[in-house]
C-alpha cells in the first residue's frame, strides 16, 4: 500500500479514504465547504496553484469527472492538460509508468488518474518523484475517494451530523467504487447504521464492508433511513439470475416515491451519476424535493479544489 | 418555443434568428463588427467574461465551429471546457438534460450546444437555471444562428446595405440549417430578392422559406445576384434521382467561373465550409477574388464574441 | 522546398533541420537551455506570447508530443487550441489547406502540425499568410525537427561537446523521422563518427544518411560509442525476413546491459519513446544510470518553448 501522507503528516496523494483518520477527513470536508457557492453565484477563484500543472490522465472515458477536476484546477490558477490514453493490456503497467514519467519530466505537479484496473493509481504513486502528487479519479471497483468526500459533504450539509444517521446504499454494491469510498468515509465519520441493500448477485463478498448490515429487500433496507445512496446499475449485469432486465429490476429494486416514503421524513436521495432513470431510480425521485444529486455535483468541484489545494498547497502561489 | 429574451428584452439564449427583430439583429452585427480585425493584426482581448465558464457540448463532431467558440470565449477571458459526448438515442433527451444539470452545478454560465437532432438546444434552454444561457452551435437542419449572423455581417461588410440586394442560396437547401438561419437573418434585414437555387430533390418543402423565389437552374438562379451563398452537398444525397454523383453534380450545379460571370459584377461568393471542391464549387471560385469564405471564418469568431458578451454581459467582469 | 527563414534571416517556420546552419542550431540550443529547469523546480513562465494563439493540428494521435507543445505554448502565455482531425485521403491536401485557412482566419499565429504523410507541413507552410509560422511535430518518416534539437541538447548537456563524439543510431532507421532529424542536427554540429546500426531490412536506402557508417551488428555498432540512440521498432515490421518477432528481435538487436557495456564508459542511452521494453531495449537499461530518456522529455518542452519564442518572438508580448 502506497503511503498517502508525507513524513510531516500532510496529505501527499489521495488514492483511497480507507487509511485516513476522522480528523483528516473532517479537515478536507471543512476546506471543501469554503469552496462551495450557491447555484448562480460565482465560483471562488484564486491563484493558489498558479505556475503549477495538473494532468488528467484517463484510460476510461468519464467526461463529467474530468471536467470537474479540470475546472477545480483552473479555478485555482493551475494549467491543465487532458490525456485520454488507450494502453494495450499486455504492457499496461509499463506504458502507464512511461507516460507518467513523461508527464513528470514535463513538470506536471499533480496527476489525476482514472483507470478501470485495480492498483494503477497506487502503482503510479509508488513511482513518481517526491514533489508529485497522485489523485485517484476512480479506480476499478476499489475506490473513488473524491466521490466519497463529496458524498459525505453533501450529507453533512443537509443533516449537520453523522452520528446517529441511518444510511442505505442501494444497488450494485459489489462492483461499486463509489460504495466502497462512501463506506470508508462514513464509517470514519461515525455513521454506525450503514446498510447494504441489494440482490444477492450485487452484494459484495462477505468479508467486505465490515460493520454494515445486509438487506435483500429495498423496502426493508430503506425503512427509517436518513440517507438513500443509489448506485448506477450496469446494463451488463442484466441476465444474472438475480438481476433481470431494466423493467424488472426497476419493479424489484427501483427507488420510487412509494418506496422513498418508507424512509424517515426529510430523508435525502443521492446518486453518483450517470443515472439510468426508470431502472434504478424513478425520475420523480431523481428530480424530486428530496434529491440532492445536483448538490453532489456542485460539492464535487469544491472537494476537488480542496484536495488539490491540500496536496499542492505549499508549492503553489502566483 | 423557448423564449430567447429576458423580461427586460435583453438576449438570454440564442437558439434561432427566427424570432429576432431587425433591431436586435443589427445590434448583434454592430457589436460583432467591433471585434473584427484584419488578418495579421491581433484579435481583440478583454476580461469581460473573467470568472465565467463556457462549456462546448457537442454531440456531433465539428472541430472548426468548436474552435471558433472556444477562441471567442477565451479571448473574452472566460474559462472553457470542451465535451464531446455520445448519447444513446433511446434516452438521449434525459441524458442530455442530466449532463446539462451537471454542468450547471459545476458553475457553467453558458452552454454551447451542437446536436444533430431537432429540438435539443431548445429543450436544454427550457430547463436551465435563470442565470444560464444556451447558444446553439448548429441544430439538425433547423438553425445555426451564429452562422446566419456571420453571413449577414460578411454581406454587409462588402455591400454596406441589405435593401435592394439579390441573394441566391444554392445547393442542398432542404437539409441546411445554414440556409434557414441565413433566410431568417436576411429577411429581417430587408433582403427581398432571395432565391433558392437547387434541384427538386434538394429544394425545401413548399411551405418553408416564405417569400423566396425557387429556381431549378443555377444559371438562371444566379443571374444578376449580388451574393451567391453556396451550401455543402452531403455525399449521402448522391444517388437520388435528382442528385447524381459528384462529377455529374458539379456539371449541373457546381459554381464555376463561367456561371459566376452571370452574377452582377462584384458579386461575392460564400460557403459555410467544409467545402467539397469540385463538387459544389470550383477551386478557381473558392480561392478567387470574389470569394469571401475566409472573411466568413474571421467574422464567425467576432460574432461569437459578440453573442457571448451579449448574453453574459452583465454577469462578467474581472 | 519551402523557405524556413524570413528575408532578414530569422526563423519563420521549423519543418526540418536539414537546411539550418550550425550557428542557427546552436542559437536554438542556447535558447532552449535557458528554459531547462531541474525536475521538481518550477518551469519558467512568461507572457512573451500573450495575445497569440497556437493551434496543435494533429492528424495522427500523439498525446505526448501534443502535450509537450501545449505546455510550451501555455507557459509562454499563448492561447492553445487542440484539433485532432481525420482527413479522407482522396482530398487530404485540399482539406488540410482549408482547415489551415480557417485557423488562420481565426487569428491563429502558429500551426503545430503532425502528419503521417510526407510533404504536408511544407505544403501548409507554402500557403499560410506572412505572419503565420508552421512547426512540424513529426512528418511521416521525413523529419521531426524539435526531436532532433532535443536529442542534440540532451547530448550536449552530458558531453559538453559534439566534436569527437561517436554516436550510434540503432533500430528501425529506415522508417524513422527521429533518426533523420538527429542526423541533420548532429552532422551540422560536427559529429563525424555517426553509425547506423540495424538489420538490412531496417537500414535506409544507400543514398541516404551521407557520411554515416553502416553496421549490421549491434555489438560492433555500439563498441566504443559515447551515445546510443535507440529507436522504436514498429510491430508491423515483424515478419520481414530480417525482422523476426519481439523476443527474437530482442535477442538479436535489443539493448541489454551486456551490450551497453561495449560502449565507452559513461556512454548515454537515448530513446524517443514510446518504448517497447523487452523488444528494442531492456528495462534495466531504460531505467538505468546511463539512461537520459527522461532528460529528453524535459528538454523537449524547453526546445519547443525556444522554437515558439524564436518564430513568434517579435509578435508576442502582453
Chain B residue with minimum CA distance to A296: B105
The pLDDT of A155-160, averaged and rounded, is 98
Evaluate if residue C95 carries a pLDDT over 90.
no
Is B45–C55 a contact, with Cβ atoms under 8 angstroms apart? no
Question: Is C13 within a domain?
Answer: no
Looking at residue C24, what is its pLDDT?
A: 97
- Judgement on whether residues B288 and B308 belong to the same structural domain of the protein: no
The pLDDT confidence band at residue B318, using thresholds 50, 70 and 90, is very low
Is C51–B45 a contact, with Cβ atoms under 8 angstroms apart? yes
Question: Is B16 within a domain?
Answer: no
| Shortest Cα distance, chain A CAs vs residue B102, angstroms | 6
Is B107–A71 a contact, with Cβ atoms under 8 angstroms apart? yes
Looking at residue A318, what is its pLDDT?
A: 46
- State phi, psi for A14 to the nearest 5 degrees: -130, 100
Looking at residue C316, what is its pLDDT?
A: 61
Which residues of C are less than 8 Å from A81 in CB distance? 67, 70-71
Which residues of C are less than 8 Å from A51 in CB distance? 42-43, 45
Question: Is B281 within a domain?
Answer: yes
Size of interface B-C (CB pairs under 8 A): 60
Looking at residue B315, what is its pLDDT?
A: 72
Question: Is A238 within a domain?
Answer: yes
**Whole-number percent of chain B with pLDDT over 90:** 87
| Shortest Cα distance, chain C CAs vs residue B53, angstroms | 16
- Judgement on whether residues C301 and C243 belong to the same structural domain of the protein: no
**Cell numbers that stand for C86 in this block:** 481525420
Question: Is B232 within a domain?
Answer: yes
Evaluate if residue C318 carries a pLDDT over 80.
no
**Whole-number percent of chain A with pLDDT over 90:** 87
Which residues of B are less than 8 Å from A68 in CB distance? 106
Evaluate if residue C93 carries a pLDDT over 80.
no
SS3 content of chain A, % helix, strand, coil (to 5): 40, 20, 45
- Tell the residue number behind the cell numbers 496553484, with chain if given: A49
DSSP H stretches of helix in chain B: 22-33, 63-75, 92-105, 120-125, 145-159, 177-188, 218-221, 246-253, 257-260, 283-286, 293-312
Q: Which residues of C touch B (CB under 8 A)?
A: 51-53, 55, 79, 81, 83-85, 91, 94-95, 98-99, 101-107, 129-131
- Other C-beta atoms closer than 10 Å to the C-beta of C3 total 12
**Cell numbers that stand for B178 in this block:** 445554414
Which residues of A are less than 8 Å from C74 in CB distance? 79
How much is the CA Rg of chain C, to the nearest whole Å?
A: 19
What is the span of the domain harbouring residue C287? 145-293
Looking at residue B61, what is its pLDDT?
A: 78
The pLDDT confidence band at residue C85, using thresholds 50, 70 and 90, is confident
C13-17, C193-197, C241-245, C275-279: lowest mean pLDDT where?
Answer: C241-245
Mutation for testing the A interface, residue in B97, B105, B132, B133 having most A CBs under 10 Å: B105
Cα dihedral sign for C202, C205, C208, C209?
positive
Q: Which residues of B touch C (CB under 8 A)?
A: 37, 39-40, 42-43, 45, 63-64, 67-68, 70-71, 74-75, 273-277, 283, 294-295, 297-298, 300-301
The pLDDT of B111-133, averaged and rounded, is 95
Size of interface A-B (CB pairs under 8 A): 60
Residue closest to A129 by CA, chosen among A106, A147, A146:
A106
The pLDDT confidence band at residue C312, using thresholds 50, 70 and 90, is very high
- Judgement on whether residues A227 and A213 belong to the same structural domain of the protein: yes
Q: What is the pLDDT of residues A61-83, one digit of tens each?
A: 788 999 999 999 999 999 999 99
Q: Which residues of B touch A (CB under 8 A)?
A: 51-53, 55, 79, 81, 83-85, 91, 94-95, 98-99, 101-107, 129-131
SS (H, E, C) B121-171: HHHHHCCCCCCCEEEEEEECCCECHHHHHHHHHHHHHHHCCCCCCEEEEEC
The pLDDT of C33-55, averaged and rounded, is 95
Q: What is the pLDDT of residues B288-309, one digit of tens each?
A: 999 999 999 999 999 999 999 9
Is B295–C105 a contact, with Cβ atoms under 8 angstroms apart? yes
Mutation for testing the A interface, residue in B81, B127, B314, B318 having most A CBs under 10 Å: B81
The overall average pLDDT reported for chain C is: 94
Evaluate if residue A113 carries a pLDDT over 80.
yes
Which residues of B are less than 8 Å from C106 in CB distance? 67-68, 71, 297-298, 300-301
Residue closest to C176 by CA, chosen among C138, C212, C214:
C138
Is C107–B74 a contact, with Cβ atoms under 8 angstroms apart? no
Q: Count how many domains chain B has.
A: 2
- Judgement on whether residues A152 and A284 belong to the same structural domain of the protein: yes
The overall average pLDDT reported for chain A is: 94
Question: Is B5 within a domain?
Answer: no
B315 DSSP assignment: G
Mutation for testing the C interface, residue in B292, B297, B302 having most C CBs under 10 Å: B297
Size of interface A-C (CB pairs under 8 A): 60
- Judgement on whether residues B205 and B256 belong to the same structural domain of the protein: yes
Which residues of B are less than 8 Å from A295 in CB distance? 105
Evaluate if residue A84 carries a pLDDT over 90.
no
| Shortest Cα distance, chain B CAs vs residue C16, angstroms | 25
C24 DSSP assignment: H
Question: Is A253 within a domain?
Answer: yes
- Judgement on whether residues C76 and C118 belong to the same structural domain of the protein: yes
Evaluate if residue A92 carries a pLDDT over 80.
no
- Judgement on whether residues C57 and C120 belong to the same structural domain of the protein: yes
Is C63–A55 a contact, with Cβ atoms under 8 angstroms apart? no
Looking at residue C227, what is its pLDDT?
A: 98
* Interatomic CA distance for residues A149 and A147, integer angstroms: 5
- Judgement on whether residues B165 and B177 belong to the same structural domain of the protein: yes
Q: What is the pLDDT of residues A239-268, one digit of tens each?
A: 787 888 899 999 999 999 999 999 999 999
Residue A230 is inside which H or E element, if any? strand A227-230
Instruction: Name beta bridge partners: C230.
Output: C170
Cα dihedral sign for C304, C306, C312, C318?
positive
Neighbours of chain C (3+ CB pairs under 8 A): A, B
Evaluate if residue B89 carries a pLDDT over 70.
no
**Buried b / exposed e across A164-182, counting CB within 10 Å, b at 16+?**
ebbbbbbbbbbbbbbbbbb
Q: What is the pLDDT of residues A49-61, one digit of tens each?
A: 999 999 999 988 7
Looking at residue C217, what is its pLDDT?
A: 97
Q: What is the pLDDT of residues B39-74, one digit of tens each?
A: 999 999 999 999 999 999 998 878 899 999 999 999
Question: Is A183 within a domain?
Answer: yes
Is A295–B105 a contact, with Cβ atoms under 8 angstroms apart? yes
* 3-state secondary structure at position C318: coil
Is C53–B71 a contact, with Cβ atoms under 8 angstroms apart? yes
CATH code for the domain in which residue C249 is found: 3.40.50.1370
Which residues of B are less than 8 Å from A301 in CB distance? 106-107
Q: What is the ipTM of this complex?
A: 0.94
Q: What is the dihedral of CA A20, A21, A22, A23, to 10 degrees?
A: -110
* 3-state secondary structure at position C194: strand
Looking at residue B90, what is its pLDDT?
A: 61
- Judgement on whether residues B26 and B112 belong to the same structural domain of the protein: yes
Is C297–A106 a contact, with Cβ atoms under 8 angstroms apart? yes
Evaluate if residue B204 carries a pLDDT over 90.
yes
Is B42–C107 a contact, with Cβ atoms under 8 angstroms apart? yes
- Judgement on whether residues A154 and A220 belong to the same structural domain of the protein: yes
Chain B residue with minimum CA distance to A273: B98
**Cell numbers that stand for C176 in this block:** 524513422
CA dist list (Å): A273 to A118, A179, A270, A286:
21, 13, 9, 10
- Other C-beta atoms closer than 10 Å to the C-beta of B2 total 18
Looking at residue A61, what is its pLDDT?
A: 78
- Judgement on whether residues C194 and C104 belong to the same structural domain of the protein: no
| Shortest Cα distance, chain A CAs vs residue B52, angstroms | 7
Cα dihedral sign for A112, A113, A114, A119?
negative
Evaluate if residue A314 carries a pLDDT over 70.
yes
- Judgement on whether residues A61 and A133 belong to the same structural domain of the protein: yes
Q: What is the pLDDT of residues A185-240, one digit of tens each?
A: 999 999 999 999 999 999 999 999 999 999 999 999 999 999 999 999 987 778 78
Amino acid at each position: 500500500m502506497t503511503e498517502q501522507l508525507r513524513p510531516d503528516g500532510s496529505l501527499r496523494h489521495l488514492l483511497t479514504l480507507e487509511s485516513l483518520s476522522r480528523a483528516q477527513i473532517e479537515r478536507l470536508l471543512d476546506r471543501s465547504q469554503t469552496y462551495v457557492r450557491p447555484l448562480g453565484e460565482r465560483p471562488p477563484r484564486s491563484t493558489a496553484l498558479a505556475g503549477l500543472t495538473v494532468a488528467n490522465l484517463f484510460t476510461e472515458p468519464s467526461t463529467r469527472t474530468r471536467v470537474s477536476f479540470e475546472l477545480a484546477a483552473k479555478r485555482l490558477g493551475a494549467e491543465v492538460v487532458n490525456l485520454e490514453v488507450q494502453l494495450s493490456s499486455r504492457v499496461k503497467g509499463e506504458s502507464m509508468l512511461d507516460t507518467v514519467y513523461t508527464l513528470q519530466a514535463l513538470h506536471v505537479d499533480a496527476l489525476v488518474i482514472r483507470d478501470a484496473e485495480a492498483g494503477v493509481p497506487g502503482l503510479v504513486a509508488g513511482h513518481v518523484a517526491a514533489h508529485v502528487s497522485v489523485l485517484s479519479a476512480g479506480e476499478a471497483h476499489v475506490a473513488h475517494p473524491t466521490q466519497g468526500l463529496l458524498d459525505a459533504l453533501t450529507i453533512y450539509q443537509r443533516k449537520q451530523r453523522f452520528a446517529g444517521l441511518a444510511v442505505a446504499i442501494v444497488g450494485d454494491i459489489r462492483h461499486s467504487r463509489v460504495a466502497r469510498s462512501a463506506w470508508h468515509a462514513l464509517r470514519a465519520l461515525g455513521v454506525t447504521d450503514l446498510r447494504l441493500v441489494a440482490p444477492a448477485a450485487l452484494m459484495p463478498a462477505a468479508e467486505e464492508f465490515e460493520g454494515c448490515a445486509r438487506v435483500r429487500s429495498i423496502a426493508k433496507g430503506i425503512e427509517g433511513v436518513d440517507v438513500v445512496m443509489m448506485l448506477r446499475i450496469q446494463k451488463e449485469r442484466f441476465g444474472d439470475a438475480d438481476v433481470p432486465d431494466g423493467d424488472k429490476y426497476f419493479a424489484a429494486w427501483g427507488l420510487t416515491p412509494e418506496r422513498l416514503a418508507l424512509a424517515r421524513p426529510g430523508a435525502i436521495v443521492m446518486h453518483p451519476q450517470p443515472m439510468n432513470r426508470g431502472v434504478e431510480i424513478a425520475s420523480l425521485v431523481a428530480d424530486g424535493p428530496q434529491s440532492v444529486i445536483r448538490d453532489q455535483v456542485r460539492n464535487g468541484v469544491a472537494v476537488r479544489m480542496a484536495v488539490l489545494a491540500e496536496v499542492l498547497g505549499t508549492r503553489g502561489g502566483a
